[in-house]
């Protein structure tokens, strides 16, 4: 949905105190305002003022608030979606529970490292009712499908028959999305916390601790073999 603009824009009202490109500064400022104040309550003028540019200059980079929101939402999920194929390739000879643990671990890192805790935006009613949410919903569905597909191979028989892959995928995504809630509460998402969240996903699939421990070890080792997500280029 985003449209890249390369125009230089007008001179700044306030000199920049960061080396980040103007487009990134706009995204950062908008994310802070959307998360703390709300999407509907934030104007493009407020975003421009926070960056220190004229409102007209903001439109050299984005067509409006919806485009800014669409890009922020995508950044909260795209890095994980772009790594699904790698995850499945890396874990082809590993256990299915290692694949699920690795997917959860990557997703946790995506949400934990996203600037301004932008994962929280997907929980705001004024965001979920916006046009920008439609594109995000499609990308998020890709990730839910991946969770369901990978989890179905790892789940205990009783769990596998009780939940459709799509429903199972949604459930697991919700478990991982606690990452954003913890961040908003000031809880650091360190390796230990990430391990607890990922392990919880496997337990929800009926996988016993005796299989979770080796899965965690394998997934942690394989994590280093993942390449950088394309969305960060």
Structure token digits, residue 189: 């998402």
In the predicted model, what is the mean pLDDT of residues 71-85? Answer: 95
Q: How confident is the model at residue 231 (pLDDT cuts 50, 70, 90)?
A: very low
- pLDDT tier for residue 58 given thresholds of 50, 70 and 90: very high
pLDDT in the model for residue 17 = 55
Q: What is the CA radius of gyration of the chain?
A: 19
Our measurement of the distance from residue 11's CA atom to the centroid of its chain's CA atoms, rounded to an integer in Å, reads 33
Q: Which of 153, 162, 164 is nearest to 202 (CA)?
A: 153
Phi/psi at 10 (nearest 5 deg)? Answer: -90, 165
Q: To the nearest whole number, what is the mean pLDDT of the chain?
A: 87
- With contact defined as beta carbons under 8 Å apart, do 105 and 220 qualify? yes
Domain 76-226: CATH class, spelled out:
mainly alpha
Return residue ranges of the chain for CATH 1.10.357.10.
1-73
pLDDT at 1 over 70: no
Query: pLDDT for 194-217, tens place per residue?
Result: 999 999 999 999 999 999 999 999
**87-95 long-range contacts, Cβ below 8 Å, gap at least 24?**
87/150, 87/226, 88/150, 90/222, 90/225, 90/226, 91/218, 91/219, 91/222, 94/218, 94/219, 94/222, 95/154, 95/211, 95/214, 95/215, 95/218
- Asked if residue 83 has pLDDT above 60, the reply is yes
Record the pTM.
0.86
Distance of CA 119 to the CA centre of its chain: 6
Give the integer Cα–Cα distance in Å for 112 and 115: 8
User: How far is the C-alpha of 102 from the C-alpha of 151, rounded, in Å?
Assistant: 11
For the chain, how far is it from start to end, CA to CA, in angstroms?
17
The continuous run of DSSP H or E covering 175 comes out as helix 165-176
Helix/strand/coil (H/E/C) assignment for every residue in 43-96: CHHHHHHHHCCCHHHHCCCCCCHHHHHHHHHHHCCHHHHCCHHHHHHHCCCCCH
Could you name the CATH architecture of 1-73? Orthogonal Bundle (1.10)
């Amino acid at each position: 949905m985003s449209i890249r603009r390369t125009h230089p824009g007008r001179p700044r009202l306030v000199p920049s105190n960061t080396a980040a490109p103007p487009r990134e500064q706009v995204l950062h400022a908008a994310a802070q305002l959307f998360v703390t104040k709300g999407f509907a309550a934030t104007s493009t003028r407020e975003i421009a003022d926070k960056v220190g540019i004229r409102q007209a200059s903001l439109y050299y980079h984005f067509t409006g608030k919806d485009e800014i929101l669409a890009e922020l939402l995508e950044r909260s999920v795209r890095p994980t979606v772009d790594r699904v194929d790698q995850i499945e390739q890396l874990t082809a000879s590993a256990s299915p529970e290692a694949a699920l643990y690795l997917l959860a671990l990557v997703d946790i890192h995506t949400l934990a490292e996203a600037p301004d805790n932008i994962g929280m935006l997907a929980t705001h009613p004024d965001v979920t009712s916006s046009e920008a949410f439609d594109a995000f919903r499609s990308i998020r569905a890709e990730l839910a499908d991946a969770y369901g597909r990978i989890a179905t191979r790892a789940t205990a028989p009783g769990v596998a028959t009780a939940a459709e892959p799509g429903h199972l995928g949604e459930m697991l995504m919700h478990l991982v999305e606690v990452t954003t809630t913890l961040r908003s509460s000031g809880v650091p998402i360190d390796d230990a916390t990430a391990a607890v969240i990922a392990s919880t996903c496997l337990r929800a699939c009926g996988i016993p601790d005796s299989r979770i421990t080796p899965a965690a070890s394998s997934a942690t080792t394989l994590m280093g073999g993942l390449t950088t997500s394309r969305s960060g280029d």
